[in-house]
Amino acid sequence: MKLMFVGPPGAGKGTQAARIATRYGIPHISTGDMLREEVKNETPLGKEAKKYMDAGGYVPDEVIIAMVKERVSRPDAGKGFILDGFPRTDVQAQALEEFASLDAVLNIVVPDDKLIHRICGRRVCRDCGATYHESMLEDQKTCPKCKGSLYIRDDDKEETVKKRLSVYKEKTQPLIDYYAGKGILHDIVGSGGIDDITEAIAAVLDEVK
């Protein structure tokens, strides 16, 4: 199954994409995670991408397209994959059609006020990458799973979050209509419990298979 998860920042698409990838045994390909890895390793690509990411904008299409094209050509993606955070622009969607054909697009829908609350409280483990909301951590200063240190993503500051939401509406929202027109779009209510959302997605995928 070749799937794509789309949704505004903070919709929980990364969390859900990871869970569905494990359940179906296909790789979770997150362009945001791939870029953060490049930034962490201070590669030339990472240094270039960081400028756009910290400003809440998009990394140039040609950089992202080359990165995803290479990743989906690896053997583990042969029987399917989940794209998380790609495509995000019309140019990326057109490029994708040249090297892969999606079976379904899952659109995670969450109201704006919830998104800001979720992102601004997000804490990420530096070691295992798990994400938490500060309200669930109480006084814990380290990752409940692995005791790694927790940090706030540079692009999760409130001003940057507002910019990311407006860029999403302008550049990525139109893709939703594009995939609806192709008959492969499925809206998922993303404001309930994490397990309920995973089951709602799995129910849709059972129909797609």
- Contacts with ligand AMP, residue ranges (CB under 6 A): 9, 31-32, 35, 52-53, 58-59, 64, 85-86, 88, 92, 155, 164
* Residue number with CB closer to ligand AMP (112 or 141): 112
Asked if 95 and 175 touch (Cβ cutoff 8 Å), the reply is: no
Which helix or strand (DSSP H or E) is residue 125 part of? strand 122-125
Residue showing tokens 């054909």 = 101
- Of 19, 36, 50, 88, catalytic: 88
Pairwise CA distance, residues 119 & 194, whole Å = 16
Task: Say if strands 81-84 and 150-151 run parallel, antiparallel, or are unpaired.
Answer: unpaired
What b/e sequence results for 58-77 when a residue is b if at least 16 CB atoms lie within 10 Å of its CB, and e otherwise? bbebebbbebbeebbeeeeb
- Of 71, 114, 153, 171, catalytic: 153
Q: For 103, how many CA atoms within 13 A lie in the half-sphere containing its CB?
A: 13
Q: What is the smallest separation between the CB atom of 94 and ligand AMP, expressed in angstroms?
A: 13
* Residue number with CB closer to ligand AMP (55 or 140): 55
Q: What is the smallest separation between the CB atom of 109 and ligand AMP, expressed in angstroms?
A: 16
Pairwise CA distance, residues 13 & 7, whole Å = 7
Q: Which residue is nearest to ligand AMP (CB)?
A: 32
Let me know if 74 is a catalytic residue. Answer: no
Let me know if 164 is a catalytic residue. Answer: yes
* Residue number with CB closer to ligand AMP (87 or 201): 87
Q: What is the smallest separation between the CB atom of 8 and ligand AMP, expressed in angstroms?
A: 9
Q: What is the smallest separation between the CB atom of 138 and ligand AMP, expressed in angstroms?
A: 26
Pairwise CA distance, residues 117 & 73, whole Å = 37
* Residue number with CB closer to ligand AMP (37 or 103): 37
- Of 19, 36, 118, 122, catalytic: 122
Catalytic residues: 13, 88, 122, 153, 164
